[in-house]
Every structure is written in C-alpha cells, then in structure tokens.
Amino acid sequence: MRDLTRLPKAHLHLHFTGSMSVPTLREIAATRGVRVPPALLDGDPLRVPATQRGWFRFQRLYDAARACVRSEGDMRRIVDEAAAADAAEGSVRLELQVDPTSYAPFVGGITPAVEIVLDAARTASAAHGLEVAVVVAASRTRHPLDARTLARLAARYAGQGPGEVVGFGLSNDERSGDTQAFARAFRIARDAGLASVPHGGELLGPEHVDTVLTTLRPDRLGHGVRASEDPATLDDVVARGVALEVCPASNVGLGVYPDTAHVPLRTLVDAGAIVALGADDPLLFGTRLVAQYEAARSAHGFDDAALADLARSSIRASRASEGSKWRMLAGVDSWLAEPAPGDDEAPA
C-alpha cells in the first residue's frame, strides 16, 4: 500500500471557515474575545449519538466559528493554513469555497472580501506549491437576488489559475430555499465561464438531485451521494458527466449514513460516476482530505490502482488548465508506478 499523502489529487470540496484547525479557531476566538461553544474546541464536535447529529447542530456550530473571523488577517490566515494543510496531504489543486457575505462587514464589503481571499489564494499557491483557486458560493437561506449579486461579482474574477474564481456554488441547508429561484444566478455564472457547483443530494434524495440537475445544470454536485438511491437519477448524473464531490466524513458527521462503510462510494464509482473526494469542513467533521482516501481504502476496499483513479477523477473534474491537469495526472502515474512498500521483499 502506497503512501496516500504522496498521491497527487485535487480537493474540490472544502469550505473557508470549515477548513480551519481547532487550534487556529481557538487562537482567533481568544484574540477577538469571542466565546465559542466548548463542543467546537474538543476536537470532535459531532461526537454525539446519531440521533443528535444532523444539520441544525452543525449549522449552529459552523455559525459560531464563522462569527470569530473578523479581519483581513484572519481571512488570509485561513486561506494560507488551508493551502498548507492541503499541500501536506498531496493536494496539488485546491478549489476553496467561500461565501464572502458574513466577512464583508469587517473588511468593507463583499468585493474586498472576495479580493482578500483571491489575493491570499495567489500568495498561498506560491508559498505552498499547489494551485489554490476559489469557488464563490451563495447561500440558500438568503434571497436569490443576493445570489445574483454574488454571481456577477464572481464573474469579474473568472479564470482557471491560482487566485482566480473558477466556480459558483450554492450552500447551506439543502432543504431551505427554492432551488429553481437560483437558476438565474447560475446562468450568470455559467455565461461568465464559471463552473456550476451547487450542493445537492446529501440532506435530500434523488428527487432533489433531479431538480438541481435540470435547473442549475451543475458541472459538479456538492455531495450528490443520495443519487445512489434511484438508478434513473444516477444514470442521469453519469450521462451528463456531472462529477460528484463526495465527502464521507461529512455524510457520517451529519448522520446521513451511520458509518463510513454505508457511504455509497462503490455504488457511485461502479455506475461510472466521476467522484472527487473532499473533506467539506475538517473543523466540524474532524478529518482532512487524505482521511477520505484512507476511508475508501479501509472501508470500501479500494486498492492503489482504484485510489489513483479517484485522484485522476478529482483532477479531471477540477477547473485547472489542460497543461496543469496533464502535469498533475503524470504525477498520479508516477505514484502508481513506484513499487509499493513491501513489493521488493522476498517471499517468505
């Protein structure tokens, strides 16, 4: 078994605030004099009976963490540390998702908030040797007109490379808001060349996946795991070439599945879906990117060739330039070509 931290991979589902480590949150909160729920600092905030997991507990803790981030310095630190942590786990491409709305009051508006994240992404890319691009995400709990404003803002920074906006997302409670009402925002984003990357198919099932597919025309779906519950929906996902950003720790943390073994990773891959593993919110779910690949290995029996295929899928589903993808994919080939530890041992 080869070292998964050395497997080149793209990380396509990581949220800005949720990327923080517990010590960083503790420090930022202390500096700002903000009280945070002790559950956020104990290293395993969702370690409660399965019946007490779920979205509302998650949302309450996430909002508490977000409320600690109150300056340009905090924002730059979060991007830098997310990039450093990703690079240490073999990520060669990070597409970091941020809804700038809640940080805007502390830095003079949503435009500076986005520009700070983009500039920090550019700096972090150079500092840590990976490409850090940005997905601007709107919230389902806000008015669809806010989403259009964000889409227009995102469009101004559209590109492929480090420090550019590559996609437009829709996050927060999947059960709130009218998906159809966000279609205009996604059209603005797509017309600007941005990838459509809404969440869907985690808290709601295949019916909502169908709605997202037809109204928001995603290039990638945040989660989408519950497409596995209806073969027709899953076929549609595959036929449309929509990549699924599968985040096993998130699914378990939110109580969508009782444990990692129940995450339908096999079903999705066997059906021909493009899967890119992601960590979603390490601050809340307790694990980062490599742990998701380790879960595929240990809970789902993926061997090194299959894990390399997952990494290739993540790279292909990213919005990196063709040249960058070629280089990243060559890195995956090299990883797999190396002898696995133990290969050279003489048989006993």
Active-site residues, by number, are 202
Q: Min. distance of Cβ 304 from Zn ion in angstroms?
A: 28
Beta bridge partners of 98: 136
The greatest distance separating any two alpha carbons of the chain, rounded to the nearest whole angstrom, comes to 68
Nearer to Zn ion, 13 or 122 (CB): 13
Could you give the string, one character per residue 201-240, with x where binding to Zn ion holds by CB under 5 A and - elsewhere? ---------------------x------------------
Strands (E) across the chain are located at 9-15, 91-98, 131-139, 165-171, 195-196, 199-200, 220-223, 243-246, 274-277
Cα–Cα distance for residue pair 41/44, rounded to 1 Å: 8
Is the CA virtual torsion 233, 294, 298, 56 positive or negative? negative
Give the interface size with Zn ion as a residue count (CB under 5 A): 2
Nearer to Zn ion, 86 or 115 (CB): 86
Q: Min. distance of Cβ 15 from Zn ion in angstroms?
A: 6
Residue 83: name the closest of 94, 69, 74 by CA: 94
Query: In this chain, which stretch among 28-36, 40-48, 185-193, 276-284 interacts with Zn ion, using CB under 5 A?
Result: 276-284
* Contacts with 214 (C-beta within 8 Å, 6 or more apart), sequence order: none
Beta strand 199-200 with 131-139 is: unpaired
Cα–Cα distance for residue pair 248/291, rounded to 1 Å: 9
Q: Min. distance of Cβ 336 from Zn ion in angstroms?
A: 29
Q: Min. distance of Cβ 97 from Zn ion in angstroms?
A: 7
Nearer to Zn ion, 107 or 317 (CB): 317
Q: Min. distance of Cβ 227 from Zn ion in angstroms?
A: 16
Query: In this chain, which stretch among 83-91, 124-132, 280-288, 310-318 interacts with Zn ion, using CB under 5 A?
Result: 280-288
Nearer to Zn ion, 115 or 280 (CB): 280
Nearer to Zn ion, 16 or 335 (CB): 16
3-state SS class at 336 = helix
Nearer to Zn ion, 169 or 206 (CB): 169
Burial of residue 306 (CB within 10 Å: 0-12, 13-18, 19+) is: middle
Q: Min. distance of Cβ 222 from Zn ion in angstroms?
A: 5
Q: Does 294 contact Zn ion by CB under 5 A? A: no
Cα–Cα distance for residue pair 293/299, rounded to 1 Å: 10
Q: Are 9 and 293 in contact (CB under 8 A)?
A: yes
Of all residues in the shown chain, the one whose CB is closest to Zn ion is 280
Q: Are 98 and 136 in contact (CB under 8 A)?
A: yes
Q: Does 89 contact Zn ion by CB under 5 A? A: no
* Contacts with 224 (C-beta within 8 Å, 6 or more apart), sequence order: 200, 201, 202, 209, 237, 242, 244, 245, 246, 268, 273
Q: Min. distance of Cβ 251 from Zn ion in angstroms?
A: 11
* The token pair that represents 277 in the structure block: 């593993």
Nearer to Zn ion, 280 or 294 (CB): 280
Q: Does 280 contact Zn ion by CB under 5 A? A: yes
3-state SS class at 167 = strand
The residue ranges that bind Zn ion (CB under 5 A) are 222, 280
